[in-house]
Structures are given as C-alpha cells and as structure tokens.
Structure 1
Amino acid sequence: MDPVTEWTGRLAHALRRAMRMSNPTFAEKLGVHARTVDMWRANSERRPNPEIQQALDTMLERADETSRKRFELIAGAESPTATPPVESLPDEPPQNATVSGPVPTHPTISPGAGSDFLDWLRISRTVSAPPDGSDLGEILKWHRKRQDLTQKEAAEFLNTHQSTLSRIENGTQQLTDVNELRHFARALGIPPSQLGVLMDRSGDAIPDPTHVSHLPGPVKDSQDHWRLVRRELNANRALLGHMAADLYSSDNILAGTAVLAGRGWVPPSPVMIDEITMTWSDIAPPPSITGGSPETARTLPLAADGQVYSRYSRALRDLAKPRLLDNRVSYRLIDVGQWARPSLEFTYTSYFETLDVGEPLGHEFAQAWMDAGRGMPRMADLPLRQSISDPFDLWARPMLPSINTLTIRRDPVGGHRFYMHLRDSSSVASGGGILHVSPAGAFQPAAIAPVHQRNDFSLWRNMQREYAEEFLGQAEHDGNSTDPIHYETDEPFASFERARLSGDFRVYVCAVVLEPLTLWVELITIAVISAPAFDELFGDMVLVNDEGAFASAEERPTSGIPFTADSMKRLETAQLSPIARACIYQAWSRRHELLSA
C-alpha cells in the first residue's frame, strides 16, 4: 500500500481500529496521552504534530499484513477533508522534558534543516542542581504541545482556567503546591520529578502484620532463621566487614584501611568541601542490579502467604524494623570526576533501592560465615556478591552515598579531640552495634517540595543537618516534609555557616570508598573546628541521640577522645566499622596538613 502523505485524526483512528487496540493501548504505543487519541476521534480532521506523524508512520510500517489491509479498507471508507494548520512545537524541549514513543527506523533529514529537525528529541544536559520547578512553564508548554493539545483543551484536562495556564506557561504565575503539581504531572503524563516534585515514600516503611507468621511451620521457621542471621549480622558487622575486604585484590584496598577505593576515587591531598563541583543528570540508565535481582532470593524469608518476600526492605520493616526506617528519596552518585577539578555527579534514587542491595550483601555474607563455622566464606557461596563483577561501576546498582565525618576539636593548647558514636542496632537500619564517626548520614534532601531541591543539593548542608541531629539532639528532618530549611537564617545552620566562612569550621573530603561488607558507597570527610567555635556551637551537645550514644575517654562523654598516638593504639582493638577506621586513619596520617593553622 502507498504510504500516508499526511496523518489526520481520522486516519490515526482508522489505524487504531485496524490494529484492534483500545485507546489507552494505542496511546501508550505512540507515547502520547490517551486524551490525545480521544481528541483525534472527536476532531477527525485534526492534524497531529510532526513527531506524532513520524510515530504513526513507524507503527504502520511495522504492522502485520492483515492489519495493513484492514487499515486500507477502513481509511478508504471516507474521503479526507481539509485540515487546519497544526500548532508548532517549540524548537527544543526544556532541559528536563522526557520524550517517549517510537522513533522512525530510517529517518530522513532534509539538507539545511538546522536544529528544527531535533524538535521531537529529548536533549539531556548536565546541570548544577536537580529540577526545582523554576522552568515549570516551559515544561508544561512542551508536554502540552507534544500531546497535540491547545491551551484551552489542556486547561480543561487540568480543571483550571485557560488564563491561569497561560500565566503559568509564560512565567508570570508560579505553582508551588505539591498536590497541584502532582495533579498537573498526572494529567499531562509528566514524570513528577521534572516539575521538582519528589515522591512521598514514607508509607513504604509501615509494617504489614499480615505478612508475619506466628504459627509453627515452614513460614515461621524461615522468618525466625532470617531474624537470627540479621542479629548475627548486626552483632558482628565490624568483623564481617574486615573479612569481606579480603575477598578483593589488595590493589583495590585503600592503604592502611579495609575499605575499597576505585581508581581516581582518592585525592592526593584532602579537598575542601566547597571546592567540589556538584552536578545533576537525568540521563543515568536504571541500575541492572537491584533488590529484585534473582541473586537476592537466598537472603529473603517467606511471608505468611508462603511466597518469598520481594524485597529485603519489606522483610526488615515487618520482621525486625529499627526505630529509624524511612524510604526517603535520595541522591544517587553516578560519577566521580578527576580531583584536579573535583566534581561529583548525581541523579535520584531512594533509600530502600540502595538498602535492598547493600543489606542483602551483608546478610548473604553473614549466612555463609555461619555456615562455614564462623570461618571465611568462599566467593562461590556468595552469588549476589559474585553477580557484581565490578563493585566500582556506579551505574550498575543504586549508589546512595553516606557522608561520614570525623569531627576534630582543634585545640593546640589543651590538646585536640575527636568524637565517636556507638550506633544502636535497634534504631538504625545499617551499621548498628559498632563505633562510628559522627556525624554520619545518607545524602538526601530535607523536603519534597520543588523549591527545596536546589536548596538541599549540597554536601555541606546535608552535614549541617546531621550535626544538628546528632550533636544537638534536634529532630531528624524526615525528607517527606514540604517545609523548607532556611539555612541562611535558621539556627544552628546560620551559625555553622558563619564559622565555616571565618575558617573556624573546615570540612575536607579525603576519599570516596566502598564499605566492603555491603558495598555501600561512602564519602570520608573530616571536619576541623577551632576549640572556641566548637564550644560555642556545641556547648549544648547531647550525650544520647536518636541513633545511639557518644563515647568518651573520660567521665564526661561530651569531652570526646584525645587525638593522640595512644588513642590510635587503643582503638586498634575496638569494635570499629571499616569506614570509621578509614576516617581515623586518614585523619591521623594527614594530621599535620589538616591541623595546620
């Protein structure tokens, strides 16, 4: 049959009928909203935009012979009439617009076409921060025109006035309400993150008691055994972490430590935190290794219905939930740049997406260790770990970095001191039962509303929140709030920033590493705070916080531990996590550089 010279709503509808598809299925195949297909049916002579014309060509080309003949019969039943001019697409989609749908197999590019032939492609860019809704109007306009909707039609779908939509599109009216933004995204088929709206995942951590079995039998046995291995994992994390490091080549071990470091992950000297360029990308492919990978099955218990739990996080919330467990939207590390011009690149992930790979790795190792009579497991007995052929491949699995900070109170007269924290395994999902540096926490935004995404995309601000929580006992910013933190004026953040700007609160990044047991990616950082500034900022330092308690070499826990060779020697036999040891080793081996005036 002859190719279609120009598609209309009538011909598109004929193709849908010929292929015996419902409106939603046809729309999904084309990569458009179902309402767009409804519009073609209502306005048979409406001409789709050029991108959709190409997608319809491709669908017809790929149809089987029977469907093509059926289309010829249906399309020939009526003669087409004149068509109105099409509303043109913008030359280029906005930065965060996503385009789906078929791409022609053999596209034809006209000579001298310039950039207009790219108007249907998504041009991705690396930018300095996540989407914050500041280009909302451009994104709405681009998606509206891609759906072949007039402003009036789109306003009807959105249940708003055309004048309101016009003002939003031209940037004279802002839209900040999270629920309204989600409604707009849903109605126009836009990923909410493009509008700066993050998912509220707090419900993921609510236990489901119907999954827990209390009756004797294989399900209860499976759940009891899972809890046993989990307890052994938490009780022996320090030992197991150092054993896991022995599975890897010494070339990948950071000197003087048991942590793993990829090529180029360790700077030749400590880097000030404000020297690191933070970039954002929306083009990272989904990870190939996830909590749903078949290799995780051996680390999952049975649920009450006899089926294996689908994710480790779901078993954890139901069978051994720590007090602090929340599936927060988080920042996923996807690239470590050269330290000559230090940079880190991120996209989105969630806490559970990372936990669902990391904790099964630890669980698998603990089970194999128990099976080996508490001896060294063989890699052959660790199928999940084996499946990660390159642990330093940042794109292969979700890599949410934790920021681990050794805090040093710099006092050349009275003696330097540092601070350690005993993490409570009943309170935290990972790293419990061992001494760790403080503060430490995952790199996550403090709020889900669009305006806060650029605001929170900062290693330093993440650390400030952790200092407020761990040292001062303030409530955790749970990441599901819509209330922003005003770092410039809210205390203690404003005081932290003044101390940093004056040079009294210096923060250095010493390495990017992997914790060997869970292969969780970690930033090793060191904060050096002058004694007067420390006493002013942390005069009300707490002894116990939501995640555990501070340790001290003296009766007064807030006095910390002397930063001396004797303390280094004593800590050699302490129950320290590999990451804590790495932080201490980096601080001690570089102490002259870090503590210089």
Structure 2
Amino acid sequence: MAADRQEPAAARLAEEIRRLRKHEGLSDHEVAARVGYSRQYVSMAQRVGKNLPSQDLVTALDNVLGADGQLIGLRTLAKQEQTRLRRIVTEPPDDDRVVQASALVESSQTEWLRIRNAPGVRGRELTELAAWLYPEAQRGPGGHVLADPGWLLDEPMELDGLGLSWAGAQVATPPLEPVDHVLPLTDRGRRYPNYSRAVRDLVRPRLLENRLSYRLLGIEPGRELSFGVTSFFDTFDMKQSVAHEFKAAWLAAGRSLPDWDALPLRTAIGDPFDPHRLLMSPGISTLTIRRGRDGEHRFVLHERDGGKVADGGGLCHVMPAGEFQPSSVDPTDVYNDFSLWRNIMREFSEEFLGNPEHDGSSPRPIDYETEEPFRSFERFRNSGHIRMWHCGLAIEPLELGAVQLTVAVIDEAAFDELFANLVRTNDEGEVVGGHGRAYLPFTGEVIERLNPRLSASALTLLRMAWRDRARLLG
C-alpha cells in the first residue's frame, strides 16, 4: 500500500520545470540558450537530486518558463525542508572532551560502566524480569515481550497489506526526565547531557551514528501505521536510559525485581503503548527462511557483537534487523525510503552481502529498480520467489524499544542465487551456522534448543513463524 503523503518540494520543483518546458514546446538546448546556462545544468534541474539547482538558475527558469514565482517558491520550500530535517540529527557543540579526570569523575564513570554491563546477567534475564512489571494482558505469549492487544497478529499478513501513512503534524513527546541518575560525570566534572554522548566517550562502539529515523505516531494493528520523523539518538537515549535505570535498581534490590518507586523514569513514561508518551521508532526484525523444495526449510541467525554495536550485543537475533529509517536526511530520500520493503532490502544488502551501509552519500537517491542488489530482490519478489509477511509489533521490556516483526520466505534457488556470497561476519556481528546446508533447520526442536541464546523478540517471532508455518511456507 502506498504511503499517503506529498512528494518533497525538491521533487515537485524538478517535475514542474520539466512540465513547463514541455508545455512551452522547448528543448533543453533552447531553454539553456534563453537562461544563459549550459544544457547540462538545465537537464539536471529537471531530475531529482540531493543538490538543489542554484537560486539564480531557478530564478532564470521561472522567468523564461512564465512560472510567476512558483519555481522560486518551490526551491525556497525545498531548502526549508532540507534544513528542518538536518537540524533533527545535528548534535550540540561539545566542550566536554578529555581533561584529567578527578577521583569523583573516575568513580562516577566506573560505576556507570559497571551498571551498564550489569554483572551476573544471563541472556534475557533482565528483559523478561522487566516484563513482569506489567500486567499479564500486556505481555506477549510466553512473557518475553510486551504487546498491547492486537499488536501481535493472530496470523501473518502480506507485507504490502499493511498501510503506511505520513502524520500531518509532528507530536511533541514529554521530555525524558528525570535522567541524572542514569548519567555519569564528564571528564570536566559536569553531568553528561544524554546517554548517547556517554556511550560515545566511555564505551566507544564501532557503530554509533546519529541518523534520521521514522517515528511511530499512530497504530491500527493489522491495518495501518502512521509515522513522522525523529533522530536515532533521541530514541537511543530513551531506550538506554530506561534500561540503565532498571539495571541499577535490580542490582540495588539484590538482583530481584525492583519496585516501581525505584524506577522514576519508567514511571514517568507510564503507558508503554502510547506513542505520544513513549518515543517509538520501531526497527524491523526479519526472520529469513530458505524454503526448500524437499520440505527441509532453513533459517539464518545472527549474533551481535557487543564490541561493534551500542546495544543488543551478545544474544542471537533474526537476520536482517535494523532501524526503520531513510538512507539520509535529504527530503527526497525520506520520501523514497518510506517503505518497509526498501528498508529490508537495504539490510539484506548490508548484513547478508557485506555491502557498505546505504547511507545516502550518493548525490542521487537510491534507484531500487535498476541498482543491484535491489533490482534482483525486486525481480524475485515480483515473480513470487520472495514472499514478505508482517507479524505485528512488540516492545522489548527492558529498554521499551518497539520492533516490527516480519518474515521473508525465499525459495531456495532464489536464495542461493541472491546470497551465494553470504558473508560470515559483518559490521555488527557474526552469522550463526555458516554456508550451504549449515543454515539452521527451521523446526520446532531447533527453535526450542536455541531458546536461551535468542533475544526476546527473536524468540517470539520464531515461535509465531513456527505456529504459522503452513501459511508462511504453503
């Protein structure tokens, strides 16, 4: 289902220049001669790119094509859109870099790291303990994740059957407070302003970059999700602060379930299913099943490396998995990438094939129809050899992070062609199993044997997929 929103002004500007030129019956050469620019500049102004045509060129085109200021207005609007989106992910100036640490600072940072690493934790222990803070009706099957009624679907739906819409206005979220109790001191003796800055300086993961993300603002389970935008760091700060608070309270309570009184930040958030109260940027976790012609189906798992990623290290998770976000802050990318399938394709490219992250560094938007590997993904999906499913939403209880649960079923011939060069390790961790027939058998026995190694949402998704295997694989 197509996203319900207006094209960015940059795209409308290019389209309007092209429309007016054709309406006047002029070629690019003729327009170029009249505006005093080369034909190449005139041609580029009619194609969507991340660099806007210059103000002088647009003014000349507006005059020559008789646009009465419309082209000038569209360029102004496009510039405003670019500025607004870039501002969301711009960090404030940092004047707290390294100076000699005092004993108080060193103690604060050491204790913060001790709590963050939660000594004695085994697998999903804290995640599932945090779930018990909430009523049974708000916990998913098995109690591993949180899920409001209807969030986890009774049966999977085709991915394209889920509507995505664009919220007409941004919604303010109550400020994240109180947070001082989850933040250490900087080397200058001041409190860190947010959790991501502390992680950057004290943990130093290989991957920690602020990016624009799609923010969930409205939910109609099984029908439609409504989005705006936020930044990755804003969501990361919320999730990690909530998790840190719980770890500290758990340790203080002798490694038992803490009282709500010890969780002021979680208490202030209140309802974990209200996107107006809790900042949600639901990532996409995709269980990838290689559908065998002989009925022996297999799937892929990924063990995230805690030294490479800022969160989620240590446990096994379905693959691929990533944030739901555009490839860059450019309005054209925000528009073109507003698709679950396109995000999943980018994650396949990065995690399965080891391609560099599609971060929008190209001067042109990603062409999903002609660029590889996206062209091949589209070809196999259009021919029915890839089927995509959406199983609903869940929340990881420890950090209150929302996640979309999806399944990709790929016929073995298509799978083997697409992923003939599957990488064993990538920027986030290592593939569990390996190549060829070392993929994990998709059976109930294997899923339960892997249970202790799986993240809460991965276990929930695998059990749902096994429950619905007749529909998924039929």
Bucket of the pairwise TM-score, normalised by the shorter protein: 0.7 to 0.9
Q: What's the secondary structure of 2:152's corresponding residue?
A: coil
State the TM-score, normalized to the length of structure 1. Answer: 0.67
* 2:464 aligned residue: 586
- 1:262-309 CA distance string (max 9 Å, x none): 23323332111111221112313211143xx2x221100111232211
Q: Return the alpha-carbon distance in structure 2 between the equivalents of residues 173 and 161 of structure 1.
A: 6
The AA in structure 1 aligned to 2:97 is: H
What does 1:371-386 align with in structure 2 at a 5 Å threshold?
371-386=252-267
Q: Does residue 1:563 correspond to 2:450, yes or no? A: no
Partners of 2:398 and 2:354 lie apart in 1 by 29
1:210: Cα distance to partner? 4.1
Cα distance per residue 1:285-341 (max 9 Å; x no partner)? 211143xx2x221100111232211111111111112111111011001111253xx
Percent identical: 40
Indicate conservation of the 8 Å contact 1:129/1:278, yes or no: no
Match in the other structure for 1:320: 203
1:437 equivalent to 2:314? Answer no
CA offsets 1:116-153 (integer angstroms, 9 cap, x no match): xxxxxxxxxx9336635344599xxxxxxxxxxxxxxx
Deviation at 1:161, TM superposition (A): 8.1
- In structure 2, what is the Cα distance between the partners aligned to 1:268 and 1:570? 24
SS of residue in 2 equivalent to 1:318: helix
Match of 2:180 among 283, 288, 297: 297
- C-alpha deviation, 1:569, in angstroms: 2.5
Cα–Cα, structure 1 residues 197 and 211, in superposed 2: closer, same or farther, change >3 Å? Answer: closer
Contact 2:211 2:329 in 1 (8 A): no
CA contact (8 A) 2:101 2:188 kept: no
> Amino acid of the residue matched to residue 85 of structure 2?
L
The verdict on how the C-alpha distance between 1:282 and 1:479 changes in structure 2, with shifts beyond 3 A counting, is farther
Distance 1:557 1:205 in 2: 48
**Structure 1 contact 259–516 (Cα < 8 Å) conserved:** yes
SS where residue 118 of structure 2 aligns?
A: helix
AA at the equivalent of 2:115: V
Distance in 1 (alpha carbons) for counterparts of 2:384 and 2:311: 34
Q: 2:4 aligns with which of 127, 130, 139?
A: 127
Residues 1:247 and 2:133 are matched in the alignment? yes
Of Structure 1 and Structure 2, the greater strand share is in 2
Alpha-carbon separation, structure 2, partners of 1:234 and 1:275 = 44
Contact 2:141 2:460 in 1 (8 A): no
Task: Say whether the 8 Å CA contact 1:409–1:529 is kept in structure 2.
Answer: yes
Greater gyration radius:
1
Could you tell me which runs of 5 or more consecutive residues in structure 1 were left unpaired when the two chains were aligned: 1-125, 139-157
Q: Which residue of 2 aligns with 1:485?
A: 366
1:85 is matched with which residue? none
- The 3 A distance-change label for structure 1 pair 191 and 374 is farther
How far residue 502 of structure 1 moved from its aligned partner, in angstroms, is 1.3
Q: Does 1:308 align with 2:191?
A: yes
2 CA distance for matches of 1:364 and 1:318?
Answer: 19
Is 1:523 the equivalent of 2:404? yes
| Residue matched to 1:356 | 237
Deviations 1:9-37 (A, max 9, x none): xxxxxxxxxxxxxxxxxxxxxxxxxxxxx
* 2:162 aligned to which of 259, 276, 295: 276
Q: Aligned partners of 1:235 and 1:427: how far apart in 2?
A: 20
Distance verdict in 2 for CA 1:276–1:161, change over 3 Å: closer
Whether contact under 8 Å (1:409, 1:528) holds in the other structure is yes
Residues 129/384 of structure 1: CA separation in 2 closer, same or farther (3 Å cut): farther
1:6-155 alignment runs, 5 A limit: 127-128=4-5, 131-135=8-12
Report the residue type matching 1:238 in the other structure.
R
Question: Which residue in 1 is equivalent to 2:432?
Answer: 551
Secondary structure of the residue aligned to 1:346 is: strand
Distance of aligned partners of 1:522 and 1:161 in 2 relative to their CA distance in 1, 3 Å threshold: closer
Q: Quick one: structure 1 residues 352 and 168, their matched pair in 2 at CA, closer, same or farther if it must change by over 3 Å?
A: farther
Aligned mates of 2:336, 2:471 — CA distance in 1: 31
**Counterpart position of 2:422:** 541
Q: Could you give the per-residue CA deviations for residues 521-541 of structure 1, whole angstroms, max 9, x where no partner exists?
A: 110111111111100110110
Describe the SS at the equivalent of 1:506.
strand
Q: Does 1:466 align with 2:347?
A: yes
Task: Rate the CA distance shift 1:171–1:436 in 2: closer, same or farther, 3 A.
Answer: farther
- 8 A contact 2:328–2:359 mirrored in 1: yes
Match of 2:217 among 328, 334, 343: 334
Distance (whole Å) between structure 1 residues aligned to residue 117 and residue 272 of structure 2 = 26
TM value normalised by structure 2: 0.83
With over 3 angstroms needed to count, the CA separation of the structure-2 counterparts of 1:337 and 1:480, relative to structure 1, is: farther
Matched position secondary structure for 2:406: strand
Unpaired runs of 5+ residues, structure 2, are 16-54
What is aligned with 2:114?
228
**Alignment deviations for residues 467-507 of structure 1 (CA, whole Å, 9 cap, x no partner):** 00000001112356544211000111011011111111111
**Per-residue CA distance 1:375-398 (angstroms, 9 max, x = gap):** 222222111111111110011232
Aligned-residue Cα RMSD (Å) equals: 3.1
**Equivalent position to 2:327, from 438, 442, 446:** 446
Structure 1 residues 488-499: aligned runs within 5 Å: 488-499=369-380
Q: CA deviation at 1:253?
A: 1.1
1:367 and 2:245 aligned? no
